[in-house]
Structure formats: structure tokens, C-alpha cells
A and B are shown apart, each in its own frame.
Chain A
Amino acid sequence: EIVMTQSPATVSVSPGERATLSCRASQSVSSNVAWYQQKPGQAPRHLIYDASTRATGIPARFSGSGSGTEFTLTISSLQSEDFAVYYCQQYNNWPPYTFGQGTKLEIK
């Protein structure tokens, strides 16, 4: 089973600033990584697939990068609605699909 490790667990960023969230796979997953955003009391929302392709309707301030074992989700110019928990997920070797433990993005 591939283990996805996200860092940091919590990050504090000011509105208007840039946030960089990291995700590391325990072995290469090529570019088969997705990112999700989850707000309290809500279902996850799909942001990115294939490591860098934005899902339908996702604003351009969200970008993904990486391949192999290292992946990054960058949110430029943070808006108030962006403060949430973010999860990465690999789908290169499944079953099982595996998720990272999440990074909480909070307001500084």
C-alpha cells in the first residue's frame, strides 16, 4: 500500500498571501495524484487531477505540480473561502486508493 504523507499538518497564512502544501508518496506514483478541499461539515471538493490539471470550475489561483514522489498544491493570493483542510490522493497503484492525512490551512 502506498502511503501519502502531507506536510505541514497545519499552516497559517494571511489572506492575499500564497500557500504551499506538500504531499509525499512512499513510492513513485507517476503523476497520478488528485487534491481535494474540505470545509467543516461539507463533503470534499475535487480540485486537481493528474497532479496539475484543475477540475472543472476550479479557480486559476489553485495549481498543482510534481511527479514521482513529491507533489505540491499552491494557492496564490488566498481568499477567505480557501481556508479549509486539503487532502492529496494517489491512484497509481490501487486498490487501495490512499489519501494523505490532510493539511489544515488556517488564517494567520
Chain B
Amino acid sequence: EVQLVESGGGLVQPGGSLRLSCAASGFTFSSYEMNWVRQAPGKGLEWVSYISTSGNTRYADSVKGRFTISRDNAKSSLYLQMNSLRVEDTAFYYCARGIHAFGYWGQGTLVTVSS
């Protein structure tokens, strides 16, 4: 069974940093592209970042230069390093598997940016 489990969310002040993790199991992690998608409380879905199997990355303009996606295939883990956090980055962050359509999602981790 495919499982994606996010962790690392929490309360951080504006300008602060946070690193999210996504632990994958039930499939060959190294063979799949991965993404981060976020959802502000009560709002819609917003794609954040993508990483290919070979490590190529893409970002939404809203996070470019502040967020960094990475992966460790040996640990079957996906990461999102978030720096210079803003109040508008407050959201549930989901890791999602796939290129184009996202077939599997984790349960999400909440990031709250507030003073």
C-alpha cells in the first residue's frame, strides 16, 4: 500500500524557517516524481514545487527563491526547506506523487506563520 506521511509543520514567526519531510513507503520511491501542494485553511489547492527522479526541480513563483525541494532516495524521503516564511505561507502542506496528475497524497502537515 502506498503511504506518504508528512511531518515537520508547526508555528513559526514571519521571516523564520522550517523543513518539512515526507516519508514514502509501499512503492519504489526513486522511480517517481514528487510534488508539494499546499492549501490555506478553508481555501483551494495551490501547487508549490516538483522534483523529478533525477533531481530536476520546479517552483511556483510565490515560493521561488525561498523554498527548496529535495529528495533522498536512499531514505525514501522528500523534503521542503522553507525560508523567509510569510504569513501568506500559512497552509496545510501535502506531498503528492506523480508528474501531471497526482495519484497519491499524504495527510498533510500544518504550517502556521504568525507573530
A-B contact count (CB 8 A): 59
- Taken residue by residue from 84 to 108, chain A's Cβ proximity to chain B (1 for < 8 Å, 0 otherwise) reads as 0001010100111111111000000
- Could you say which residues of chain A place their CB within 8 Å of the CB of B58? 94-95
- Asked whether any CB of chain A lies closer than 8 Å to the CB of B11, the reply is no
**Interface segment out of the listed A12-20, A42-50, A69-77:** A42-50
Q: How many residues of B contact A (CB 8 A)?
A: 20
Instruction: Say whether chain A's binding surface is mostly helix, strand, loop, or mixed.
Output: loop
Q: How many residues of A contact B (CB 8 A)?
A: 24
- Given contacts A91-B100, A91-B101, A96-B60, whether A43 and B47 have CB atoms under 8 Å apart is no
**Are A32 and B100 within 8 A (Cβ)?**
yes
8 Å CB interface, B16-66 against A = 35, 44-47, 50, 58-61
Among residues of B, the one whose C-beta sits closest to the C-beta of A1 is B61
- Could you say which residues of chain A place their CB within 8 Å of the CB of B35? 97
Which of B47, B58, B104 has the most C-beta atoms of chain A within 10 angstroms of its own C-beta? B47
Selected A-B contacts with CB under 8 Å, 17 pairs: A34-B102, A36-B102, A42-B107, A43-B107, A46-B104, A49-B101, A87-B45, A89-B45, A89-B101, A89-B102, A94-B100, A95-B47, A95-B58, A95-B59, A96-B61, A97-B100, A100-B44
Tell me the B residues contacting A by CB distance below 8 Å. Answer: 35, 44-47, 50, 58-61, 94, 100-108
